[in-house]
Structure 1
Amino acid sequence: MRLLVIGGTSFVGRTLVSDALGRGHEVTTFNRGLTGKDVDGVEALRGDRSTDEGIRPLAGRRFDAVIDPGGLVPAHVLRTARATAGSAPFYAFVSTTAVYRTWDTAPVDESAATWPGAADQEGDPADLGKLRVHKRGCELAVEQVFGLGASLIARAGSIVGPYDNLGQLPWWLTRIAEGGRVIAPGDPARGLQLIDVRDISVFVLDQVEAAAGGVHNVVPDGTNTTMGRLVDTCVRVTGSDATPVWMDEGFLLSQGVQPWTELPLWIPDLPDVGGFWAVSGASAKAAGLRTRPFADSVRDTWEWLRSGGEVQAAPGTPPFGLAMEKEQQVLAAWDSRQAGDN
């Protein structure tokens, strides 16, 4: 197939391009040439879809499908969809489960209410505070131009794997590799639902090759690891002497430790987020999604980091991880509390 991949130089896009080339497809990438190096073997087009002029390099070209793995501004996606509607019969867009409006019930499936969005909305790609609304607007832009039958909306969950441009799993790996006492949040049995970037890529390419339209939550159908297994696997694959110190969530919150950012992938077990790690993956599973063991993702991410891989954070992405000084303060407060209890 002749595939047009928008972006295609980091994390999800890079993985899609590499896998598509490995399947024997002809791949053209379209990007500004600012984020990273194009994968060897592609035809690289330079342009900027934030303007009508910037999208002109796509004029007169024909493709079997467009894959858009990173669109963040609805108006940009709408412009891309319109520019390719007459030259490509199918459009695949990688969205996010963050488009869902509430997380207080489980499971969260594709019928759940989403945030409102507008297909023509402008905005700053780095303004991740509007990610939920903007991603929904991007979905609507694709559906408006291509229709549901000729488009794939792949709502990815929390993504891990090599070439990570977010930095959550890499932070745990690098921190645990340093050794010593490491703060571990909440209940070790707390389930997590994480998807490897390579499994997303295989699923999207399979759907593109079959021209199979639809909206799917691209997540494991159920939790596929726990916070305890995450920490223990990081200890094992890094060969570290780190000692996890499990602290209850109330204590961590009282110390001002921020969930998700300071302790990546930690979402407190509270009623209003009861569905966060309970997104239904049944639709994607029925359509062919297969997920690898989580331990493989941890091992391969560590091997990537050891071989010189470095997280190139996407614009607007917050820095992940707990500062060393704060970590030591929280550990000291925990020790003091434990001593007082005894």
Structure 2
Amino acid sequence: MADTALVIGGTRFIGRHVVEDLLDHDYEVTIFNRGNHENPFADHDDVTRVEGDRRDDTDLKAAALSVQPDIVIDCVAYYPEDVRVAVDLFSDVDGYVYISSGSAYAAEEIPKREGETALCDCTDEQATDDSHASYGPRKAEGDRIVFEAAEDGVNAMSVRPCIVYGPHDYTERLDYWIDRVLNYDRVVVPGDGQNLWHRAYVEDVASALRVVAEEGEPGEAYNVGDRRLVTMEEMVDLVADAADTDCEVVHAGEHELAAAELSPDDFILYRDYPHVLDTDKLAALGWESTPLAEAMERSVADHRDSDRDGSEHDPGREAEERVLGVLDTL
């Protein structure tokens, strides 16, 4: 008899890939969500959907009783209370895996290591706040709840992804850069192009969640990210190679950007101080990451098939053209 998996979420981005990975490894899968987004598995005989709100304890308890899963992958636990309820309801499963975040780390260290790098504190106010500023503290508090549950015998673990990219990415962060490469010969990159923000290919995040559920140690956290990191300029070059096109990367410092009333932070995926996660602990479980060229080829192909353009993150091409004009006069 196949193992059963319950995926809380399961239709948008990471959760969608989790379901596909579980199916590829012969799990019987149930997804639990409110139905606010189109279900890509509606016609899939091996995926059952249970409708409910994970923040409604009655709904979640009903799902736990009806599915009786062997493992649970929790994709949409955004508040500490979500995790607290889940580790109680799923206290007898073989593996409960909470998706935390690299944002849970409080210290700027290179690299950030599980069990060594300090986590964010979380106040009572932050625990219920839904702002971006409280995201890291809320995720860190969820980690601590997982650790406490494991001490009480619950097979609970957490996975901390960095910036996730790949097919079906509704955040469109990478889509902005793909769109630039596909449509312009010259792409403005802030600074010297050497800034480093660790990214994780979504299929690798999905496989990490399954591997941790199967092989992880209760009470442990596992970082996940590409095993080979690339700078922002190298990322743009990877996009160009995957798209089989050429583009010129143009570096723009703060002075040149300021001429167009821009700053480096106006460019999505730019980060001044490097954000790097150590992934050795996850790799020791047998997890592997997709080669970057292959990951980018899939990401570019999906972008071309979608209507995503990353325009939400666009600093303005007219402003970029002014920057290019300034640089051309130097």
Range class of TM-score, shorter chain: 0.7 to 0.9
Q: Which residue number in structure 2 is paired with residue 69 of structure 1?
A: 75
3-state DSSP of counterpart to 1:244: strand
Q: Which runs of 5+ in 1 are unaligned?
A: none
Q: Post-superposition shift, 1:250?
A: 5.5
2:56 counterpart of 1:48: no
**Which residue type is aligned with residue 297 of structure 1?**
A
**Which residue type is aligned with residue 47 of structure 1?**
G
**Which residue type is aligned with residue 4 of structure 2?**
R
Q: Is the 8 A contact 1:74 1:120 kept in 2?
A: no
2:286 counterpart of 1:288: yes
**Partner Cα distance (2:123, 2:286) in 1:** 30
Most deviating of 285-294 and 170-179:
285-294
Q: Is the 8 A contact 2:211 2:287 kept in 1?
A: no
- Selected match of 1:58 from 59, 63, 66: 63
Q: Which residue number in structure 2 is paired with residue 30 of structure 1?
A: 32
Q: Which residue number in structure 2 is paired with residue 242 of structure 1?
A: 247
* Alignment deviations for residues 275-317 of structure 1 (CA, whole Å, 9 cap, x no partner): x333222222222231222222211111112223648x9xxxx
Q: Is the 8 A contact 2:106 2:120 kept in 1?
A: yes
* Alignment deviations for residues 62-101 of structure 1 (CA, whole Å, 9 cap, x no partner): 1111111232111122223322224x24210111111111
Q: 1:74 to 1:236 in 2, by over 3 A?
A: same
Most deviating of 205-214 and 162-171:
205-214
- Selected match of 1:80 from 80, 86, 91: 86
2:327 counterpart of 1:331: no
Most deviating of 288-297 and 53-62:
53-62
**Partner Cα distance (1:255, 1:120) in 2:** 38
Q: Which residue number in structure 2 is paired with residue 155 of structure 1?
A: 160
**Which residue type is aligned with residue 122 of structure 2?**
G
Q: Post-superposition shift, 1:189?
A: 4.4
Q: Which residue number in structure 2 is paired with residue 95 of structure 1?
A: 100
2:223 counterpart of 1:217: yes
Q: 1:211 to 1:224 in 2, by over 3 A?
A: closer
TM-score (norm 1): 0.83
Q: Superposition RMSD on alpha carbons, in Å?
A: 2.7
TM-score (norm 2): 0.86
Q: Is the 8 A contact 2:256 2:323 kept in 1?
A: no
Q: Which residue number in structure 2 is paired with residue 307 of structure 1?
A: 305
Q: Which residue number in structure 1 is paired with residue 12 of structure 2?
A: 10
3-state DSSP of counterpart to 2:50: strand
Aligned length: 321
**Partner Cα distance (1:231, 1:59) in 2:** 44
Q: Which runs of 5+ in 2 are unaligned?
A: none
Q: Post-superposition shift, 1:253?
A: 6.1
Most deviating of 282-291 and 116-125:
116-125
**Partner Cα distance (1:32, 1:207) in 2:** 26
**Partner Cα distance (1:3, 1:119) in 2:** 32
3-state DSSP of counterpart to 1:92: strand
Q: Is the 8 A contact 1:121 1:137 kept in 2?
A: no
Q: Post-superposition shift, 1:119?
A: 9.3
**Which residue type is aligned with residue 215 of structure 1?**
A
**Partner Cα distance (2:132, 2:269) in 1:** 17
Q: Is the 8 A contact 1:186 1:248 kept in 2?
A: yes
Q: 1:158 to 1:192 in 2, by over 3 A?
A: same
**Partner Cα distance (2:5, 2:126) in 1:** 27
Q: Post-superposition shift, 1:121?
A: 7.0
Q: Post-superposition shift, 1:175?
A: 1.5
Q: 1:169 to 1:20 in 2, by over 3 A?
A: same
- Selected match of 2:140 from 113, 122, 136: 136
Most deviating of 247-256 and 54-63:
247-256
Q: 1:253 to 1:130 in 2, by over 3 A?
A: farther
**Which residue type is aligned with residue 302 of structure 1?**
V
- Selected match of 1:202 from 207, 210, 215: 207
* Alignment deviations for residues 190-228 of structure 1 (CA, whole Å, 9 cap, x no partner): 44532211112112212222354321111245x522222
Q: Is the 8 A contact 1:160 1:297 kept in 2?
A: no
**Partner Cα distance (1:257, 1:55) in 2:** 46
**Which residue type is aligned with residue 34 of structure 1?**
N
